[in-house]
Amino acid sequence: MLFSSGQLASLGDTSYAELKQQEKVSSDANVVRYVQCITDDLIAVLPSPWRDKQWEVTVFESEQVNAFALPGENIGVYTGLLAVTENAHQLAAVIGHEIGHVIADHGNERMSNEMAVGLGLQLGAILAADRLDSNTTAIAMAALGVGAQVGILLPYSRVHESESDQLGMDYMAAAGYQPAEAANLWRNMANLGGNGTPEFLSTHPSPQSRIAAIEAYAPRLQSLYEQARAARRTPICSL
């Protein structure tokens, strides 16, 4: 890995601030409370030191079917996603998946790889700059996982996606959410295909292969899920 956690957090914070300036932040208190409630449940069961960090969640008012998490403990959820997630379990699957990318340091690995290819010089300039201009901010955002918002698509690898799916489901089960609902989420995503590819799908692999992998992994988490329920970690988040 070529980048320190401090460098990535700085880039994540800058990109997050840029998005909050560019995008409309939701003022719907019920929606914000709902998203925050689910996120808090997941954060509470993250491994140390992640559960002790100060995560920030922003809900963006947009028809985009999308969400992201950035280094620096920054999470964004678009209200369009709420129309696709049928319940809190499915929204937890998305948020847990995005948190998984951050905890697994996938942004660092992807940026390090990009140093050897097309974006290398630009990423090097980003790290050397005292202040980011709009172009370098867009490149940093793309490398960290929010490229769809700035028109630069850099999909995570299938290995990264599979790992984040499993991490997200781990967090779901530990928090008392039903991990099998992750498969239903992807079915919902796939059903949107006829109306145009959702932003979340544009940088993710085939829903069919993902559903199969999720359904194979979910039974392994039944014990963890039952332990969470026995410990009275029962999600109560609702709209």
DSSP string, 179-218: TTHHHHHHHHHHHGGGG---HHHHTS--HHHHHHHHHHHG
Half-sphere exposure of 42 (CA within 13 A, CB side): 34
Nearest to 64 by CA among 201, 239, 237, 238: 201
Nearest to 211 by CA among 179, 183, 181: 183
DSSP string, 39-86: HHHHHTTSPTTGGGS--EEEEE-SS---EEEETTTEEEEEGGGGGT--
Distance CA(77)–CA(48), nearest Å, equals: 24
Active-site position among 23, 61, 63, 98: 98
In this structure, what is the dihedral angle of CA atoms 46, 49, 52, 57, given to the nearest 10 degrees?
-60
> Does residue 98 have an active-site annotation?
yes
Active site residues: 98
